[in-house]
Chains A and B, each alone.
Chain A
Amino acid sequence: MADESNPTTPPAPAPAAPAERPAGGERPAHGERPARGPRPGGPRGDRKFFRRKKVCKFCVEKIDAINYKDVRLLQQFVAERGKIIPRRLTGVCTPHQRRLTAAIKQARNIALLPFAAR
């Protein structure tokens, strides 16, 4: 929902924030966000501003198992149309993205996630 604009407008300041927003509520890192940088600057826009480093959600929260049954988790990494959100937008590390992709594809196969929405 929040990341609807993500795939279409990568250079906008949107990607940094919405990608993390779904988890934002219960994350400890959320509180220290304003302290680290003045604001999450656009990836290409304000070079002088401190860009918030994207971190891999799975590494930070120590989520070991990426299971196809965990739709809530997988949905955070799927755009509104059902596409898998690329690593450069979500900040997920390569090994985790690999497992994530496999899990999403399994979930699609058993109709837990759409191949293409609408």
Chain B
Amino acid sequence: MQRTYEVMFIVRPDMPEEEVEKLVSTLESNVTSAGGTVKSVERMGKRRLAYVVRKFHEGLYVLLTIEGTGQAIHELERRMRVTEPVIKFLTVRVDEEQKRLAKIKKIRDSKVRRKPESAAAAAGSEPAAVSV
């Protein structure tokens, strides 16, 4: 069952840039070997944490968008748990939400297309009301 997930994780802030790079690429290869595909990698940069995590006040946020099975995600999470520089992670399944949003958008678009007609009709009736 192919599903879309967002995996956000925080890397400790005192890690050098190239090591973070290396860490991200190893995690990516973990995903691909487990049968998933990494659709995008977004580095969100250093951010202040809302609370202290393992005595760190800030962290490097990385967001992965992954398409794959639950097993692939399970394996990735297990890896992250044992990877010491990753101080926190969160996995969110997004495909259902995307489907919902697409549906809403479709309804919105169809309404927008209908709107110009009704606006024209309203404009046509208005002068008549004024003359009365």
Contact = CB atoms under 8 A, between A and B. Distances in A.
A113 B47 CA distance: 12
A82 B59 CA distance: 20
Interface string A21-64: 00000000000000000000000000000000000000000101
A1 interface: no
B51 A64 contact: no
Interface in A88-118: 106, 108-115, 117
B66 interface: no
B50 A111 contact: yes
Interface residues of A, number: 16
A113 B46 CA distance: 15
A65 interface: yes
A113 B50 CA distance: 5
B26 to A, nearest CB: 21
B50 A65 contact: no
- Give the bracket for the number of chain B residues in contact with chain A: 10 to 19
Nearest to A108: B50
Contacts, number: 35
B8 interface: yes
Give chain A's interface secondary structure class.
loop
Given A110-B8, A111-B59, A64 B50 contact: no
Interface stretch (B71-79, B100-108, B118-126): B100-108
A64 B106 CA distance: 12
Interface of A: 62, 64-65, 68-69, 82, 106, 108-115, 117
Interface of B: 8, 10, 47, 49-51, 53, 59, 63, 88-90, 92, 97, 101, 104-105, 108
